[in-house]
Structure 1
Amino acid sequence: MTAPNYSREFLQAMPKADLHLHLDGSLRPTGLIEMAKRSKIELPSYTVDGLYDQVFKESYQNLGEYLNGFQYTCAVLRDMENLEQAAYELAVDNQAEGVNYIEVRFAPQLLMDLARGIDFDRVMHTTNQGLKRAKDEYNNSDAVSSGDKPPFDYGIINCAMRMFGKKGFSPYYSDLFRMLSHFEPKQVIKTAAMELVRASVRLRDEEGLPIVGLDIAGQEMGYPAHEFKEVYEYAHQNFLLKTVHAGEAYGAESIFEALTQCYADRLGHGYSLFSPDMIQDDKITDREAYVRQLASFIGDRRIAIEVCITSNLQTNPAIGSVDNHNFRHMYDNRLATVICTDNRLVSRTTVTDEYALALSAVDVPLKRLKDMVAYGFKKNFFPGDYVSKRAYAKQVLEYFDKVAAQHKLV
């Protein structure tokens, strides 16, 4: 079956979800400039063109250069007025391009500064205020109130960090290293992760914040997921859903660990699943067979992969082009893939852009495209109960059919 030539207008109008969306990598460039001036944070440039030229580029030499911009975004987000604004603007920008559901992830401990009264609870409530303000405004609009468009909703995923240094990552992490000066560095890192997950469950249960999941982010190599098994066990035992950055910059064995040691409900990136050459475990002698078995295991369990094509191309220049991206193999193997942005500012992308990129590499019939859209609503960590989630997904997919008909695709 030949796939339709989907217009940009259709891709923007169809309902979408973004389940892998870093708050601190997705500020508006104009918002970053405004916030930096207000908080007296020094930037390399105070123009959008200057920031794009010096920091947030179209392409990067390596992961280190890609991550360079986060020092500026995290610095401004330690001001609670800025944090609320960033969360609000992120939701509004998604709404403007037809994204009905987002799961915003970030590392709250990167923004905490106890000396200034900025603790975990304050960071989480402030973030939620911005997102909720945008949600309420959108859902009270005539188009949603009349039933013409489905409502907007969101969840928050809290990221623990795989690694951080004694100085420079954040005031909170620096203070923790000082207080736990007789701990090994990895013990400090795991202690911070356990504190994060416990605090997340408490705020969800006691104050009703829509904290829907746990993630572990940061450098994969040297910091394997199994070292955080106890952290993920706590989440698992307290009904907090789990995603893991796995297979972004390390072999498929990292993905296997995420599934078997951390009970992952979804996989962040998962790029290396179909790259047997990236496997580094000497015990895996038949790499091709390992990849086939792991892909089948993921498919059987319907584990969704959060696919971030632009980000992968930028952090791994060896991929070359979208035609070489492993999304093609994920699609051919019928895996549940959710098209995501990762970082809207750092990667200079949108959900619409990412769909256009994916569809430029693979011919996707309308039915399969609807399935891809559906994964974003069926595999999300919805803040309500399962019955509500199913009803919301049904409403969104009925709207997909309506938009497809309007664009004469059915």
Structure 2
Amino acid sequence: MPRYSADFIKAMPKSDLHLHLDGSLRLSSLIEMAKRTHTTLPSQSVDGLKQLVFKDKYQNLGEYLHCFQYTCAVLRDPENLEQAAYELALDNQAEGVNYIEVRFAPQLLIDLSRGIDFDQIMHAVNNGLKRAQDEYNRTEVVLSGNKPPFGYGIINCAMRMFGDKGFSPYYTNLFQLMRDFAPMDVIKLAAMELVRASVRLRDECAMPIVGLDLAGQESGYPASKFKEVYEYAHQHFMLKTLHAGEAYGAESVFEAITECYADRIGHGYSMFIPDMIHSPDITDKAAYIRKLASYIADKRIAIEVCLTSNLQTNPQLTDIRQHQFKAMLDNRMATVICTDNRLVSNTTVCNEYQLALDNFDIPLKRLKDMVAYGFKKSFFPGSYVEKRQYAKTCLDYFDRVAKQYGFI
């Protein structure tokens, strides 16, 4: 198994296609933002927050998700939101990441009582990302052609479920306004409003909202319930990803593809676990998994792989080598290495690549394929021709770096 140094991993071009804004703040900035918005945190120090909230290991998914109540609270503020987006782009640029797709749920941050609406939230995030992009792309190393330029897209997340109070001001108000509707109908209406607003801003303001995601509790809230929402995205040329095969099995991934036209799958590791298939109609679970994996590989539907995050939220995963990433590689699937949440998982893109390369058999050609999928399977905010050219620029740079480090 070839050994890849940390220096090589940092130098090679990279992307992050599964990157939650509200899970990727700088801890020092979180404390600063909390003071600005008079938000109470469990601690006022970085070390204290690492001890009490943002840990290296979590007991379960619930404890992991507990972190987001603090980040979302401070992000219901346009100034904080722009700062978070700007710093996230800078942090990626500092470790050699050329392209990011930043995802978040705008409806978790809307607070109409304070005049914070969907459009204001989206402009704040875009302003921060664009400022970081423009600054980077004006540097001599990019202008001279020595490094690829930096790019980004925004993915908006619809929520699979939310409660009638406390989830966010927007969702609490929505339940109050629609108290005679069934909860699932309210949830679906919120998702439909999100996708319509996303298409409008993309088309009217040329905002790089490049995709739709479905996040939140997977079990009990199947993708099929959001079929109409994804049909609207599909009919309006909005690309689609879904969290699937994270806390539910192969059926969830199958639904994401067949009911919601998924172009990519977020996580996907549970689809290889037979015990997570629950339908009585699937009698040969192993055959079902084989056929699904082969179909996904053949269609080049990319899997957004988040190794550290999966280790932290699944107690049964005690060793990274148990991760189904190996099954994805064995089935020749298009896999893209991602962070999920840089703060909550205490990771970086370089760390995730190191984890993958140190524990799985990935020769240089396969590594280049993985890097390539990060650009070719991106929801790039330009034409297909422009995306191909950008991917070629990044992959030519990969060859230069590989040669510099003696791999070629």
TM-score (norm 2): 0.99
> Do residues 64 (structure 1) and 73 (structure 2) align?
no
Which position in structure 2 is the counterpart of 1:349?
347
- Alpha-carbon distance between aligned partners in 2 of 1:241 and 1:387, rounded to the nearest angstrom: 16
- Alpha-carbon distance between aligned partners in 2 of 1:36 and 1:207, rounded to the nearest angstrom: 31
Matched residue pairs, number?
Answer: 408
Which position in structure 1 is the counterpart of 2:87?
89
After TM superposition, where is structure 1 displaced by more than 6 Å over at least 4 residues in a row? Answer: none
- The match for 1:314 among 312, 315, 318 is 312
Which position in structure 1 is the counterpart of 2:227?
229
Which position in structure 2 is the counterpart of 1:257?
255
- Alpha-carbon distance between aligned partners in 1 of 2:326 and 2:357, rounded to the nearest angstrom: 10
The 5 A counterparts of 1:117-132 are: 117-132=115-130
Is the CA contact (8 Å cut-off) linking 1:225 and 1:258 kept in structure 2? yes
SS at match of 2:124: helix
Deviations 1:47-98 (A, max 9, x none): 1111111101111100000001100000000011100000000000000001
- Alpha-carbon distance between aligned partners in 2 of 1:45 and 1:370, rounded to the nearest angstrom: 43
- Alpha-carbon distance between aligned partners in 1 of 2:167 and 2:381, rounded to the nearest angstrom: 30
What is the deviation of 1:282?
Answer: 1.4
The one-letter amino acid of 1:39's match is: T
Which position in structure 2 is the counterpart of 1:9?
7
Is the CA contact (8 Å cut-off) linking 2:192 and 2:229 kept in structure 1? yes
- The match for 1:102 among 94, 100, 103 is 100
Gaps of 5+ in 1: none
- Alpha-carbon distance between aligned partners in 1 of 2:240 and 2:115, rounded to the nearest angstrom: 29
- Alpha-carbon distance between aligned partners in 1 of 2:87 and 2:390, rounded to the nearest angstrom: 23
- The match for 2:274 among 265, 272, 276 is 276
Deviations 1:309-340 (A, max 9, x none): 00001000201111000001101111000000
Is the CA contact (8 Å cut-off) linking 1:4 and 1:409 kept in structure 2? no
- The match for 1:166 among 164, 177, 180 is 164
Is the CA contact (8 Å cut-off) linking 2:64 and 2:344 kept in structure 1? yes
Which position in structure 2 is the counterpart of 1:151?
149
The one-letter amino acid of 2:308's match is: T
- Alpha-carbon distance between aligned partners in 1 of 2:162 and 2:328, rounded to the nearest angstrom: 32
SS at match of 2:316: helix
Deviations 1:363-400 (A, max 9, x none): 21111100000000000000000000000000000000
Is the CA contact (8 Å cut-off) linking 1:247 and 1:254 kept in structure 2? yes
Which position in structure 1 is the counterpart of 2:206?
208
Which position in structure 1 is the counterpart of 2:403?
405
The one-letter amino acid of 1:59's match is: K
- The match for 1:135 among 133, 136, 139 is 133
- Alpha-carbon distance between aligned partners in 2 of 1:52 and 1:159, rounded to the nearest angstrom: 27
Which position in structure 2 is the counterpart of 1:246?
244
TM-score (norm 1): 0.99
Gaps of 5+ in 2: none
- The match for 1:185 among 159, 179, 183 is 183
Is the CA contact (8 Å cut-off) linking 2:249 and 2:272 kept in structure 1? no
Is the CA contact (8 Å cut-off) linking 1:328 and 1:361 kept in structure 2? no
What is the deviation of 1:4?
Answer: 2.1
After superposing the two structures, state which structure 1 stretch, 212-221 or 45-54, moved more.
Answer: 45-54
Identity of aligned residues (%): 72
> Do residues 303 (structure 1) and 296 (structure 2) align?
no
Is the CA contact (8 Å cut-off) linking 1:30 and 1:48 kept in structure 2? yes
- Alpha-carbon distance between aligned partners in 1 of 2:328 and 2:231, rounded to the nearest angstrom: 28
